[in-house]
């Protein structure tokens, strides 16, 4: 009766295919095409009306339709539970050294010559003692061996690390030798306020294989000096700008503009000032702006910061789009076992930027902690567990259902645990973000 000649074909939906929960879309101006950025797969491509139609009728489209494979390859449709996969991916990342990299942030001192009102740094503390330096080297050795690391990355932090250049000069050769003995690549950064830079200091940093110098500024002239001021008062802006000219290739300089309502109108002027200084001096310099405070335009639409940061793409969304690692995941110190921050007394923290020196947040010591047995050797194992567990927000958490979760990971772990999490600018203007990613990736392969 001809029934033997018919063949039943499942629909794509019956085969388990569904539209990804992590798609962000934007209409491409002056075009019928729509850009879709998938936050889980980190793909961005243009889609035609017929492709969008197929995505809307997966319950009617045969599973072997030729467009199904293309849509699946880019992640805009999926046949698995993406949220469960993301949680697994995050938990596995906690235990893996990213790209074989062991990363140690070292505060040779927590003392500082500035008194910025928003900073955690303390004044009057000393420098890292020789016996603590021995512990740091021993910890680096344990971490490299346990991780089978291919790279050792050192970040000099503080306080103001240039107030303890003797510690940097003492520790660096030992850490470099350790990396070479273990067959590891060695990289080093320094976060500094820039005030104490000199030709002698630059020469020391070059000997210590420091290749990147990160300097924050809070605005132009008096605006910067109002917050990034010397202890006891005194301007800093002009000297920092002058010092930028000393940082020559192969060293790279990264200038962060700490953006807030009081300086938002000066950010373009600041950018032009530092870029002009860089061009004049031949400095290899990059500039980016980042919010110093939590500003949500949904709640503060009358704020000048909201207007500038979220409608002025140059300050927020476009820089954020450039920082998205396409096809790769990233971790912060707080969510990875193989990233640690060490204060001047040898205490370990899961947040180098805000918690160092606050004893209640320490989870171990450089003398005792062993990543091969991380909880048993921690003096405060609960603190370590809490930070690592922020990698996957639980059901009921406000981030759990968010389509941006694979990009931000739920935000800063320290703020999730002890403060107010900050959402990235692109959450409030996803279409602008998608178009920025489309501009960046329009010629990339799927």
Give tens-digit pLDDT for 160-212: 999 999 999 999 999 999 999 999 999 999 999 999 999 999 999 999 999 99
Is the same domain home to 331 and 231? yes
Which of 365, 389, 413 is a domain's end point? 389
Cis, bond preceding 411 (omega within 30 deg of 0)? no
Give tens-digit pLDDT for 224-280: 999 999 999 999 999 999 999 999 999 999 999 888 777 878 888 999 999 999 999
Is the same domain home to 154 and 39? no
Tally of domains within the chain: 2
The separation between CA 326 and the C-alpha centre of its own chain, rounded to angstroms, equals 13
pLDDT value of position 123: 56
Kindly write down the DSSP assignment for every residue of 170-238, as one continuous string: HHHHHHHHHHHHTT-EEEEEEE--STT--HHHHHHHHHTT--EEEEEE-SSTHHHHHHS-BTTS---HH
Alpha-carbon radius of gyration of the chain: 25
Is the same domain home to 198 and 334? yes
Q: Domain for residue 410, yes or no?
A: no
Residues 6+ apart with CB under 8 A from 333: 103, 105, 339, 340, 341, 349, 350, 351, 352
* % of residues, the chain, pLDDT over 90: 64
pTM: 0.84
Which of 22, 56, 80 is a domain's end point? 80
Residue 330's pLDDT band (cuts 50, 70, 90): low
Residue 303's pLDDT band (cuts 50, 70, 90): very low
Is the same domain home to 355 and 380? yes
Helices (H), 57-183: 66-73, 82-94, 130-147, 165-181
Q: What is the mean pLDDT of residues 374-399?
A: 92
Q: Tokens for 116, please give them.
A: 């910025």
Q: DSSP class of residue 157?
A: -
* Cα four-point dihedral sign 214, 217, 220, 222: negative
pLDDT value of position 329: 52
Is the same domain home to 36 and 68? yes
Give tens-digit pLDDT for 117-158: 878 666 557 899 999 999 999 999 999 999 999 999 999 999
Is the same domain home to 55 and 167? no
Q: DSSP class of residue 343?
A: -
pLDDT value of position 121: 63
Domain that holds residue 31: 3-80
Q: Return d(Cα 252, Cα 244) in angstroms, integer.
A: 10
Which of 58, 80, 102 is a domain's end point? 80
């Amino acid at each position: 009766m001809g029934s033997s000649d018919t063949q039943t074909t499942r629909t794509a939906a019956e085969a388990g295919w569904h539209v990804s929960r992590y798609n962000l879309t934007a209409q491409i101006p002056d075009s019928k095409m729509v850009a879709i950025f998938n936050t889980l797969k980190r793909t961005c491509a243009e889609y035609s009306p017929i492709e969008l139609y197929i995505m809307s009728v997966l319950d009617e489209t045969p599973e072997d339709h030729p467009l199904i494979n293309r849509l699946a390859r880019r992640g805009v449709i999926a046949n698995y539970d993406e949220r469960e996969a993301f949680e697994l991916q995050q938990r596995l990342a906690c235990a893996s050294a990213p790209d074989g990299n062991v990363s140690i942030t070292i505060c040779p001192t927590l003392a500082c010559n500035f008194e910025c009102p928003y900073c955690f740094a303390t004044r009057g503390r000393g420098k890292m003692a020789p016996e603590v330096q021995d512990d740091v080297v021993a910890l680096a050795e344990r971490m490299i061996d346990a991780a089978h690391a291919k790279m050792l990355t050192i970040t000099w932090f503080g306080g103001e690390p240039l107030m303890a250049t003797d510690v940097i000069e003492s520790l660096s050769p030992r850490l470099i030798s350790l990396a070479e003995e273990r067959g590891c690549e060695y990289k080093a950064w320094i976060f500094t306020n820039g005030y104490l830079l000199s030709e002698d200091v630059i020469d020391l940093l070059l000997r210590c294989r420091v290749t990147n110098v990160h300097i924050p500024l809070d605005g132009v002239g008096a605006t910067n000096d109002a917050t990034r001021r010397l202890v006891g008062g005194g301007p800093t802006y002009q000297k920092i700008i002058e010092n930028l000219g000393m940082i020559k290739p192969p060293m790279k300089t990264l200038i962060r503009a700490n953006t807030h309502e009081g300086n938002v109108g000066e950010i373009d002027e600041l950018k032009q000032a530092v870029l002009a200084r860089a061009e004049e001096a031949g400095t290899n310099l990059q500039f980016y702006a980042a919010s110093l405070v939590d500003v949500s335009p949904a709640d503060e639409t009358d704020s000048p910061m909201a207007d500038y940061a979220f409608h002025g793409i140059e300050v927020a969304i476009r820089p954020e789009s450039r920082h998205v690692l396409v096809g790769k995941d990233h971790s912060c110190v707080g969510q990875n076992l193989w990233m640690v921050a060490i204060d001047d007394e040898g205490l370990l923290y899961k947040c180098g930027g805000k918690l160092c020196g606050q004893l209640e947040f320490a989870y171990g010591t450089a003398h005792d902690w062993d990543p091969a047995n991380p909880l048993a050797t921690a003096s405060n194992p609960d603190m370590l567990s809490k930070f690592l567990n922020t990698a996957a927000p639980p059901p009921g958490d406000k981030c759990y259902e968010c389509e941006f979760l694979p990009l931000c990971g739920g935000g800063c772990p320290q703020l999730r645990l002890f403060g107010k999490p900050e959402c990235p600018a692109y959450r409030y203007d996803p279409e602008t973000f998608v178009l920025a990613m489309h501009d960046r990736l329009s010629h990339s392969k799927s």
